[in-house]
Amino acid sequence: MAKYKYIQLILMCFIFSKMNGQCLTDFYYQKAIEKNPRIEQQATQFYQSIQHFSNTQRATKIIIPVVFHVIHTNGVENISKAQIEDAIRLLNLAFSNNHPNKGNIRAPFKSIASNCEIEFRLAKIDPNGQCTDGINRIYSPLHLSATDEVKNIAGARWDNSKYLNIWTASFIDHQTPGGQGVAGYSYLPYSIQGSNDPIDGVVILHNCIGTIGTGRADLLGGTLTHEVGHYLGLIHTFNGGCFGSDYCDDTPPVANEFTNGGCPSNGNSCSSDNPDLIDQWENYMDYSSGACQSMFSNDQRDIMRSTLANFSFRANMVSLNNLKATGVELDNQSPIAFFTSNIRTACVGEAVTYYNNACRAITTSVLWDFEGANLNSANKDTVTVNYSKPGKYKVSLNVSNIYGSDLLTAPAYIEIRDRVAQLKPALLQGFEALDWLNTSGWEIWEQGDDAFKVDPTVAYSGSKCLIAPINNMAYKSQLYELVSPPIDLRPLKGLSPKISLMAAYIRQSISSTEKLRLYMSRGCGDVWELLFQKGANSLSYNSSAYQSNFKPKNKSEWQLLSHNLSVYENDSNVRFKIQVESGGTNSVYIDDINISNYYSGIIETEYAFQVQIFPNPANQFLSINYQNESGTTEVWLENMLGQKIVQVIEEQSKCGAIAIDFKQNGTALNGLYILKIRANNQVISKKLIFAN
């Protein structure tokens, strides 16, 4: 493929090409060469060995099994099955020369637009031989700063000689010169060291997957098509500029990365080619707009098919034996039952869609059974039902063909919740009650040592708090999560509702990376919206100090964290999640969570006179002692909405030492209240906990 005679210049331009701001493939290729200079020679040998066949020669279709590893923390980045299936649809249209933009290919390139005869199918069998829908959901905050590390999360990488691995994320962390707005990257095949190489595959933003859900409709799937092109051996068409090469005679040279961003109708940035053709911005390997891209060329087809034939780990992936092992080619045997659903939690009356994902063989009969649903059974691959009562319900699927049948039953598979939460604000949690976790509706996710625990030796108020027990032995990126019960915010309408909490933490060193995040979920589902994140520096009560084995000793080592909820004050069903991510250094302490129109810890004021309250927390009886030097005095009790609920003593003229023994007298008090005392021409407030 002697498109240009300056082979050495081509390679140098490729190695040192400017970071483009969209695709990191060139950058990672450079890094690979730095580690193993032989890769450069392997690349040259590969491209010089490409065999070509004419567009009229019919090739055998090649099938590639695909798995999507969706890295998420239950936010919008946890993209739907439908969105992923849309991405597969667009990939197959692109690689079969049937893209929706095909009609826009200009005359000079219509004859070389190629049907690559490559098809992508979601895997149906996982590495353990179990049925799958080809979507592997991985709960990890690394979706916020994706690098090759996402490939090393436990369970987040399948054998690269059997599957095309695609990792989706919210943000790609790129510490590279000029790397802005990176959408994805892939390693070129000659950078891969064979089977089970942990770097092989595509990392891409979730909004570049398909055109529905979070997918950008304007891209028309072009970003994923572009990255899969790299995975199959293609280089950018602008590689090396006008005197570089992508090893394809039928793709005219392009001056630089963003020359064709606007898809100029007759743009011709280089005259070094013969014949001198206009730029081929239709090509998926350019950086033109996704609305313009619509073709691979014949030479690009030959490179990709040669990649699948000449690299052993790619050849094994597309072999018939592997296609059967991954379930994308079916066999003559009985099927194995397996199903998924679009959601696992729903409101009463909300539609829930179930999918038959049986594997290994074609199913000729499909029979569902839905406990508690409006449809008890159905004989369809995809079924939509709803539920009229809250609860957790069983789902069963029976599949069969002429070779046999299989039944899968999942108890408590779906959770149905009330549309309107039963709890009303204020919702307060100070972790004082012995059985708070069993009676309050709060949940600690995860169990064992790697989970939130109550610490009875320290608190901002009261005697207890919650601790994420992190130390130098803790696993980095371990998540500690506390989830609130559902709450109806509407009683706080117009009162500036907020969620607040007290947190105590200090960095162990400048390299500490603990984080605290606050999420909110609206409605009955488990889609979590990030409200705020505090990194180690901003979470630390003293950003200029460091300490090992931190444990707060006084209130000055706690800080208030809060978020205004006014925009959600009409929501009748919300939940909150407090998430601490370990950096392997110091523990994070949490106390006095408050969902109301008051802030945690701010209710107590600096006193101009001494007040003694005993005990606090209180049960039925409470002793109050203070000094009134002049004027009248009055004592009353308010709830967290500022409503007076008990008049402890009426307004009276009394000076000197005042002692009050308060008894509830049949009033049911439990939780956090504000004791108000008017004396010495001022009103002071004291936080008070009743724990009956």
User: Quick one: pLDDT at residue 342?
Assistant: 93
For residue 405, give Cα distances in angstroms to 131, 330, 376. Answer: 15, 15, 20
Output 145 or 17, whichever has higher pLDDT: 145
User: Quick one: pLDDT at residue 621?
Assistant: 83
pLDDT digits (tens, 9 = 90+) for 653-665: 888 888 888 887 7
Compute how many other C-beta atoms are within 10 angstroms of the C-beta atom of residue 263.
16
Output 652 or 548, whichever has higher pLDDT: 548
Output 535 or 53, whichever has higher pLDDT: 535
Q: Which residues are catalytic?
A: 227
User: Quick one: pLDDT at residue 687?
Assistant: 80
User: Quick one: pLDDT at residue 2?
Assistant: 35
**Cα first-last separation, the chain:** 84
* pLDDT above 50 (res 453): yes
User: How many Å apart are CA 99 and CA 293, to the nearest integer?
Assistant: 9
User: Quick one: pLDDT at residue 270?
Assistant: 94
* pLDDT above 60 (res 605): no
* Cβ partners under 8 Å of residue 120, min gap 6: 63, 64, 66, 88, 91, 92, 95, 164, 228
Q: With cut-offs at 50, 70 and 90, classify the pLDDT of residue 525.
A: confident
Q: What is the CATH number of domain 611-690?
A: 2.60.40.1930
Domain 58-237+301-323 has CATH 1.10.8.50: no
3-state DSSP call for residue 114? Answer: coil
* pLDDT above 70 (res 22): no
Q: With cut-offs at 50, 70 and 90, classify the pLDDT of residue 353.
A: very high
User: Quick one: pLDDT at residue 692?
Assistant: 65
* pLDDT above 70 (res 276): yes
SS (H, E, C) 3-59: CCCCHHHHHHHHHCCCCCCCECHHHHHHHHHHHCCHHHHHHHHHHHCCCCCCCCCCC
Average pLDDT over residues 379-389: 94
pTM for the whole structure: 0.80
Whether the link from the prior residue into 426 is cis, omega within 30° of 0, is yes
* Cβ partners under 8 Å of residue 259, min gap 6: 238, 267, 269, 279
For the chain, percent of residues with pLDDT exceeding 90: 63
The reply to whether domains 58-237+301-323 and 339-417 share a CATH topology is no
User: How many Å apart are CA 122 and CA 329, to the nearest integer?
Assistant: 11
3-state DSSP call for residue 278? Answer: coil
Phi and psi for 69 in degrees, rounded to 5?
-95, 105
User: Quick one: pLDDT at residue 3?
Assistant: 40
Q: What is the CATH number of domain 339-417?
A: 2.60.40.10
pLDDT digits (tens, 9 = 90+) for 314-343: 999 999 999 999 999 998 899 999 999 999
Q: How far is CA 687 from the centre of its chain?
A: 38
Helices (H) and strands (E) in the chain, counts: 11, 32
Task: Name the residue with tokens 């699927």.
Answer: 397
The rounded radius of gyration (Å) of the Cα atoms in the chain is 32
User: Quick one: pLDDT at residue 628?
Assistant: 83
The upper half-sphere exposure of residue 549, i.e. CA atoms within 13 Å in the direction of its Cβ, equals: 0
Average pLDDT score over the chain = 88
Extract the runs of DSSP E, i.e. beta strands, from 323-403: 339-341, 345-347, 352-356, 365-370, 377-378, 382-385, 391-401
Q: Which of 389-398, 596-605, 635-644 has the highest average model confidence (pLDDT)?
A: 389-398
* pLDDT above 60 (res 214): yes
Domain 427-596 has CATH 2.10.10.90: no
* pLDDT above 60 (res 19): no
Domain spans of the chain? 58-237+301-323, 339-417, 427-596, 611-690
pLDDT digits (tens, 9 = 90+) for 145-202: 888 999 999 999 999 999 999 999 999 876 544 445 688 999 999 999 888 889 999 9
pLDDT digits (tens, 9 = 90+) for 623-651: 998 888 777 888 988 887 677 888 888 88
* pLDDT above 50 (res 565): yes
Q: How many residues does the chain have?
A: 692
pLDDT digits (tens, 9 = 90+) for 470-496: 988 777 888 999 999 999 999 999 988
User: How many Å apart are CA 43 and CA 37, to the nearest integer?
Assistant: 11
Compute how many other C-beta atoms are within 10 angstroms of the C-beta atom of residue 336.
20
* pLDDT above 70 (res 47): yes
Task: Name the residue with tokens 């079924």.
Answer: 383
Q: How far is CA 542 from the centre of its chain?
A: 30
Q: Are 598 and 495 in contact (CB under 8 A)?
A: no
Compute how many other C-beta atoms are within 10 angstroms of the C-beta atom of residue 543.
12
